[in-house]
Amino acid sequence: MAKKFLYINRKAPYGTIYALESLEVVLIGAAFEQDVSLAFIDDGVYQLTAGQDTAGAGMKNFSRTYKALGDFEINKLYVERESLEERGLTLDDLQQITWEDENEDYAEKPSIHLVGRAEMASLIASQDVVLSF
């Protein structure tokens, strides 16, 4: 039986390597057919922001990879509302990330779900495996 895996992303996309290497685990893990969710809290919400430009910093811009997660059947991205608000961000500042539901004629559905802090806590509590980056 599949286990519930939750990847918690807490760090900004650049400055440290945690976000990039977390994404590498998520992509490899997708092959194991587990029940995968991603959570974005604290500075981790910056990982999903639209219009990232790393040219000046000389780093690899990997932000487009999040848009491809739907192709790996990873379509549960939970973003903590309070973390967005504390940073002056709204859903409009994030990339639009969707997945195609093959059970509904490949209808495009949003992958990002806004959840409150209390709801995030119960989401974490309901998992079998939590990997925090």
Partner 1 sequence: MLLGIVVNEGPYTHQASDTAYQFTKAALEKGHSIFRVFFYHDGVNNGTRLTVPPQDDRNLQKLWTELAEKYKLDLVVCVAAAQRRGILDADEAKRHGKDAANIAPGFRISGLGQLIEAGINAERLVTFGD
The residues of the shown chain that bind partner 1, judged by CB under 8 A, are 3, 5, 17-18, 21, 24-25, 28-29, 31-32, 34, 128-133
The smaller minimum CB distance to partner 1, of residues 107 and 129, is found at 129
**Shortest distance, CB of residue 121 to partner 1, whole angstroms?**
18
Residue type, 58: G
Nearer to partner 1, 18 or 97 (CB): 18
Q: Pick from 77, 107, 75, 106: which is nearest to 91 by CA? A: 77
* Conformation bin of residue 11: beta by default, left when phi > 0, alpha when psi is -120 to 50: beta
Backbone angles phi, psi at 36, to 5 degrees: -100, 135
Nearer to partner 1, 3 or 113 (CB): 3
The nearest distance, CB 16 to partner 1, in angstroms, is 9
CB-side exposure of 123: number of CA atoms within 13 Å? 23
Q: Which is nearer to partner 1, 26 or 84 (CB)?
A: 26
CA distance 68 to 4: 21
